[in-house]
Amino acid sequence: MAVRVRILLPLAALLPLREMCEAAATGSEVKRHIIRSEHSAWQSISKDTDASRTHRTYGQACGNFLTQEKNTNVGSAILGEFGNAWSPCTHLKNYGLNFAPFVARFLAYQLAPQTALEFGCGLGTTSDFVARFGGTQVTCIEPESTLGGLIMSLRKDMKGNGDLQQLALNVFSEEDNAKQCISSGDMRSDLVYSFEVAEHIPHEFHPKLVQLLVNSTKKWLVFSAARPDQLGTGHLPDSMMLPVVWRKIFEDAGLVFMPQLTLMARHTAYPLRSYDLFSNILVFKTSSNPAKDTDTPHEMLSLFQAQWGVTDDQWEKRQDLEAFAKGSNSALWPTLTALETKVRKGDMCQQTMSLAKGHNSAMSSELAFESAWGAHFYREANAHHSAARDTI
């Protein structure tokens, strides 16, 4: 244990992981004192001003879809106002933060983008991490402005570097203003990523989704979608395909598959996300990207390699990584983790249905979708069925 702590401590000044480090150093007041000192060092170097951060500039076509900053914390009123289907409230209650710390490090450090675009960003934690630790200008795309207040609350806790914005844009809309934004080229980014969202998108929209992701990619695309029979809420059977099928689709669209980086990315998801990302992640580059495929992880991954990847000590590693992730989440997003605790204690979101992760349950008045896109198409389908009944 002492060896592990000595490995972690030189990086503690760069990472807000006080809780994780204290868990690794239990029983030693000296080690705790060192950790507290280095956590204070992190706080001193992470403070920045609005003047030192620049927003990504969008033209009028996409600028109209930017979510405006809300100078409020996310509280019970915001968490409860989105009605049924998906909301931050249902997500926190049923899935927690669901944050994969080493997948986020893979994106921020291994691929090191200056600009990034996430399609389907959930609570926004992965994009916030990439923004802070990659110094990246990150944009999330969701169909509605559900994340406005939530994202601003993440950045208010500790802004760090980079920048995080949301486009409240239905990329499948036939409206002219949506089409103008998509065709403007404003969303082109060094890195584009989408995790476990495509299975919520009706299959007939998949060609548009692929076109959007490919056309927006300057250097890297990291993609993951549920495979057939993978359990989850709001998964559409016709939209669930094997990774090998998705690989061919993106290769046919002109991207280059990266097998070694794919394996590395999958291993960073293990064991916390062994049920989905470990099997599903694919990494591609554009043909103009000169980067070589590699199995050599960035230092910010390799120094922690005892905590991720497939090994014989899976159970011990999972417990260690869960403690790591819990401490990391608490330090990175204190407001959000406090809200998660309140939600699960029943202090908020009283009407939320309880669904175990990956399992379906008896239907109730509120479905705990994993994705805002899933909720979006669920509502559209319900509206269509209602209109059809009214015409009978």
In a domain, 386, yes or no: no
- pLDDT score at 334: 87
What is the C-alpha to C-alpha distance for residues 168 and 147, in angstroms, rounded to an integer? Answer: 9
Is residue 166 included in any domain, yes or no?
Answer: yes
pLDDT in tens, 91-144: 777 778 889 999 999 999 999 999 999 999 888 899 999 999 999 999 999 887
**Which residues, including other chains, have CB under 8 Å from residue 310's CB and lie 6 or more apart?**
267, 270
DSSP string covering 301-334, please? HHTTGGGSS--S-HHHHHHHHHHHHHHHHHHH-H
- Alpha-carbon distance of 51 to 48, in angstroms, equals 8
d(CA 183, CA 169): 13
Same domain for 30 and 69, yes or no, is no
Reported as a single tens digit per residue, the pLDDT across 149-207 is 666 666 666 667 888 888 999 999 999 999 999 999 999 999 999 999 999 999 999 99
**380 belongs to a structural domain:** no
| Mean pLDDT, rounded, of the chain | 76
Residue 385 lies in a domain: no
If asked whether residues 41 and 92 sit together in one domain, one would say: no
Nearest to 39, CA basis, from 66, 8, 64, 69 = 8
Residue 30 confidence (pLDDT):
34
Domain assignment present for residue 287? The answer is yes
Domain range for 275: 55-341
Q: How many Cα atoms are found within 13 Å in the side-chain-facing hemisphere of 105?
A: 23
Secondary structure of residue 283 in the 3-state scheme: strand
Residue-wise DSSP of 52-83:
G--PPP--HHHHTTBPPP--S---HHHHTTT-
Cα 196 from Cα 371, distance rounded (Å):
8
Helix, coil or strand: residue 293: coil
Position 350 in a domain: no
DSSP string, 143-199: SSSTTHHHHHHHHHH---SSEEEEEE--TT--SHHHHHHHHTSTT-EEEEEEES-GG
Q: Are residues 21 and 119 in the same domain?
A: no
Q: How far is CA 223 from CA 17, 268, 284, 286, 309, in A?
A: 28, 14, 8, 14, 19
What tokens appear for 301 in the block?
A: 């991954």
Split into its structural domains, the chain has a count of: 2
Q: Are residues 38 and 151 in the same domain?
A: no
Same domain, 109 and 13: no
**Predicted pLDDT at 91:** 73
Please tell me whether residues 255 and 302 are part of one structural domain: yes
Position 208 in a domain = yes
Q: Which residues contact 275 (CB under 8 A, 6 or more apart)?
A: 230, 358
Q: How far apart are CA 271 and CA 319, in angstroms?
A: 10
What is the rounded average pLDDT of the residues 217-245?
94
Q: How confident is the model over 310-343, as pLDDT tens digits? A: 876 777 778 888 888 888 898 888 888 888 888 8
Is 376 a residue whose pLDDT tops 50? yes
